[in-house]
Amino acid sequence: MYQHIVVPLDGSNMAEVALPHVKQIAKGCGTEEVTLVRAIKQTKGYKRVTDYSKAVGTTPTTQPQGGKERKAEEYLSVIAKKLQDEGIKVQTKVLLGKPAQAIIFYAAHNPCDLIVMATHARSGFSRLIRGSVANKIVTASIAPVLMVRGPGSVPGV
């Protein structure tokens, strides 16, 4: 049923609460691939080179790679290794740009059956002031989104 699952992570323990759910879904549905993504802002001096031999929206190549990108890749690699040790096929992708926009764009141009992510479960004024990557993804994504409530989240706060 869910052949490709995208899992946005931001490097926090809270974001990783989605991973046990991803494991269960992937194993239960015979998922072919899980893609762990991390969106970071583009750093100065980072040169983005588009590979025009590929379809629009597919993986652009980048040169040279900055420190933030390397740290993001290292982080995703550690998480990927844990999932691979459990028999789940995993790939990783560091996205450049505003998190919600980058994740929505990636999911739209790399067909996925499900996005699984954690949320602080903020609502009302708190969400209005701080913004909500999760809310933006839920409202704009063409793929279904499974939101996993983070520990300590209080509904209606």
Domain boundaries, the chain: 4-149
Report whether 36 contacts 90 (CB < 8 A).
yes
How high is the pLDDT of residue 54?
59
How high is the pLDDT of residue 72?
93
Question: pLDDT tens digits, the chain, 157 residues: what are they?
Answer: 899 999 999 998 989 999 999 999 999 999 899 999 999 986 655 555 555 555 555 555 555 567 888 899 999 999 999 999 999 999 999 998 889 999 999 999 998 999 999 986 655 554 444 457 888 898 888 999 999 987 765 555 4
**Beta-bridge mates of residue 37:** 8, 93
Chain position carrying tokens 């933030």: 68
**Beta-bridge mates of residue 49:** 61
How high is the pLDDT of residue 150?
75
Report whether 78 contacts 92 (CB < 8 A).
no
Query: How far lies 47's CA from each of 70, 90, 153, in Å?
Result: 14, 27, 39
Report whether 94 contacts 38 (CB < 8 A).
yes
| CATH number, domain 4-149 | 3.40.50.620
